[in-house]
């Protein structure tokens, strides 16, 4: 390449957003498109990609692996649930685990993943590790999809300050032909297909240089996963788990119960509030009405009235108690969606919400909120 031409570009090449963010975004876009439930990031370093992925609502299991425990521990706290996750548990379940170990070794905790990402990992592997990598990732883990990114050495002359490799820990950097040949051989050997793309466009007129980061997206051609291996064929665990977070989820009965109890009380209080204010207003308009405490559905605003279909299910005041039938509460969309069945509603609120003696209605005192 002509030196002057090259220098002209080294001044201007600056990726926006930065290249590492473009790589993470590439993975995130793939996740949004293919919706894998279980994702493992190999060579996860400071867990930044994992942190981004925890917001993808399709993911239920996230795992990270790195040979360097200290780099993983730096920011692993960012993978812990936040107070808001406890206040409003999500409908999906999510478990995030970090393992300390080498991709050169097989560990059963790496089985059953749908997507495995290896972002800027392979160029950090020693020759012996790189040799074992295909068998561990494609042969043993055998996920439906693997994403591998690595520097494209053809781009290096355009990057300011790069003499041999982009990072002192890189053991090699491949040009496009080298990466593609390795990837195609690996794909063929383990029955995957592979497509090549990348992030970090070359400057106009230099398209033959290729992307700054080259990416191979591998898709497994056969249907089953290694999870179907008989358990005696599983290797022994060799990785050390350094972090595990189980996010609160409505799939967990404990959190579901909290959510249902709060929603039932909120709904019942709302109904009581409308009922009491309507009764008060009518008492003011017609003092003789005080003795007639059974309201009609007309007492409710439109959105409540639509829900109180059967008039025998109307809330009513008896003495100093307001009774709100459970069937009415169950007809509210949020309660209904949370519980699924009326039986489940009864089961979840038993002993947690004040009920009438036959258990058919929520009972509140007329005085207190
Ligand atoms: N994927 C991250 C980090 C890339 S740097 C990112 O895109 O930002 C490569 C990472 O691979 C480092 O954190 C390094 O500790 C890790 N690594 C190197 N050799 C490894 C091996 N044999 N097994 C697992 N991780 C390894």
pLDDT tens-place string over residues 264-315: 999 999 999 988 888 887 767 666 554 444 544 455 555 555 555 444 578 9
Q: Whose CA is nearest to atom 10 of ligand 1?
A: 43
Give me ligand 1 centre to Cα 6, in Å: 31
Task: With cut-offs at 50, 70 and 90, classify the pLDDT of residue 89.
Answer: very high
Predicted local confidence at residue 2, as pLDDT: 45
Predicted local confidence at residue 303, as pLDDT: 56
- To which residue do tokens 């002209």 refer? 8
Predicted local confidence at residue 231, as pLDDT: 60
Q: What distance in Å separates the CA atoms of residue 164 and residue 174, rounded to the nearest whole number?
A: 12
Between 26 and 5, the higher pLDDT residue: 26
Task: For residue 254, give both structure tokens.
Answer: 């404990």
Contacts of 346 (CB under 8 A, 6+ apart): 326, 359
**By C-alpha distance, which of 218, 219, 201 is closest to 210?**
201
Which atom of ligand 1 has the smallest separation from the CA of 23?
Answer: 7
Give me ligand 1 centre to Cα 130, in Å: 12
For residue range 96-112, list pLDDT tens digits in order: 999 999 999 999 999 99
Buried/exposed 206-230: b ≥16 CB within 10 Å, e otherwise: beebbbbbbbbbbebeeeebbeeee
Q: How many helices (H) and strands (E) does the chain have?
A: 12, 11
Task: With cut-offs at 50, 70 and 90, classify the pLDDT of residue 318.
Answer: confident
Predicted local confidence at residue 35, as pLDDT: 98
Question: What's the start-to-end Cα distance of the chain, in Å?
Answer: 79
Give me ligand 1 centre to Cα 352, in Å: 49
**By C-alpha distance, which of 21, 2, 1, 22 is closest to 201?**
22
Query: Residue 264: helix, strand or coil by DSSP?
Result: helix
Q: Is the pLDDT of residue 11 over 60?
A: no
Predicted local confidence at residue 228, as pLDDT: 55
Using CA of residue 356, residue 360, residue 364, residue 365, what is the dihedral sign?
Answer: negative
- To which residue do tokens 């056969």 refer? 222
Q: Output the CA torsion 288→293→298→303 (10° steps).
A: 140
Pocket test for ligand 1, best of 41, 49, 67 (most atoms within 8 A of CB): 67
Give me ligand 1 centre to Cα 234, in Å: 25
Task: With cut-offs at 50, 70 and 90, classify the pLDDT of residue 13.
Answer: confident
Q: What distance in Å separates the CA atoms of residue 15 and residue 40, rounded to the nearest whole number?
A: 27
Predicted local confidence at residue 366, as pLDDT: 87
- To which residue do tokens 């795992």 refer? 63
Q: What angle do CA 189, 195, 199 make, to 5 degrees?
A: 130
For residue range 44-86, list pLDDT tens digits in order: 999 999 999 999 999 999 999 999 999 999 999 999 999 999 9
Predicted local confidence at residue 123, as pLDDT: 98
Predicted local confidence at residue 4, as pLDDT: 47
Rounded percentage of the chain residues whose pLDDT exceeds 90: 78
For residue range 189-199, list pLDDT tens digits in order: 999 999 999 99
Q: Is the pLDDT of residue 188 over 60?
A: yes
Give me ligand 1 centre to Cα 95, in Å: 22
Ligand 1 pocket by Cβ (under 6 Å): 20, 43-45, 65-68, 71, 102-104, 119-121, 124-125, 129
For residue range 27-44, list pLDDT tens digits in order: 999 999 999 999 999 999
Predicted local confidence at residue 326, as pLDDT: 95
Contact 176, 213 (CB under 8 A): no
Pocket test for ligand 1, best of 71, 124, 150 (most atoms within 8 A of CB): 124
Give me ligand 1 centre to Cα 304, in Å: 57
Query: Which residue stretches of 83-175 are H helix?
Result: 83-87, 127-134
Task: For residue 198, give both structure tokens.
Answer: 């990348």
Predicted local confidence at residue 108, as pLDDT: 96
Q: Whose CA is nearest to atom 16 of ligand 1?
A: 43
Looking at residue 244, the DSSP 8-state letter turns out to be: E
Pocket test for ligand 1, best of 41, 66, 69, 239 (most atoms within 8 A of CB): 66
Instruction: Sketch out the chain's domains with CATH numbers.
Output: 19-247 (3.40.50.150), 253-280+301-365 (no CATH)
**Range 348-365 average pLDDT:** 94
């Amino acid at each position: 390449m002509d030196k002057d031409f090259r220098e002209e570009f080294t001044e201007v090449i600056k990726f926006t957003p930065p290249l590492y963010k473009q790589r993470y975004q590439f993975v995130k876009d793939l996740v949004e498109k293919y919706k894998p439930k279980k994702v493992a990031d190999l060579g996860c370093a400071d867990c930044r990609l994992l942190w981004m992925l925890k917001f993808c609502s399709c993911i239920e299991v996230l795992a990270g692996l790195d040979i360097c425990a200290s780099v993983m521990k730096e920011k692993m706290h960012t993978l812990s649930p936040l107070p808001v996750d406890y206040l409003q548990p999500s409908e999906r379940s999510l478990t995030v685990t970090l393992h300390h170990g080498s991709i050169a070794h097989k560990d059963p905790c790496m089985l059953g993943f749908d997507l495995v990402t290896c972002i800027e990992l392979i160029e950090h592997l020693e020759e012996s590790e790189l040799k074992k990598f295909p068998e561990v990732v494609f042969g043993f883990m055998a996920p439906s999809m693997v994403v591998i990114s690595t520097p494209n050495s053809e781009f290096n002359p355009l990057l300011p300050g790069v003499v041999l490799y982009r990072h002192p820990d890189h053991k090699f950097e491949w040009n496009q032909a080298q990466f593609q040949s390795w990837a195609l051989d690996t794909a063929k050997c383990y029955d995957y297909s592979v497509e090549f793309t990348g992030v970090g466009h070359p400057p106009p007129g230099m398209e033959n240089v290729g992307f700054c980061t080259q990416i191979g997206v591998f898709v497994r051609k056969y249907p089953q996963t290694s999870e179907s291996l008989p358990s005696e064929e599983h290797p022994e665990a060799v990785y050390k788990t350094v972090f595990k977070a189980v996010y609160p989820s409505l799939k967990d009965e404990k959190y579901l119960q909290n959510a249902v109890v709060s929603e039932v009380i909120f709904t019942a209080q709302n109904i009581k509030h409308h009922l009491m204010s309507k009764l008060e207003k009518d008492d003011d308009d017609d003092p003789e009405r005080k003795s007639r405490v059974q309201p009609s559905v007309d007492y409710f605003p439109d959105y409540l009235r639509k829900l109180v279909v059967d008039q025998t299910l109307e809330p009513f005041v008896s003495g100093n108690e307001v009774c709100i039938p459970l069937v009415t509460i169950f007809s509210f969309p949020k309660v209904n969606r949370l519980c699924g069945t009326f039986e489940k509603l009864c089961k979840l609120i038993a002993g947690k919400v004040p009920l009438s003696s036959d258990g058919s209605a929520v009972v509140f005192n007329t005085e207190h909120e």
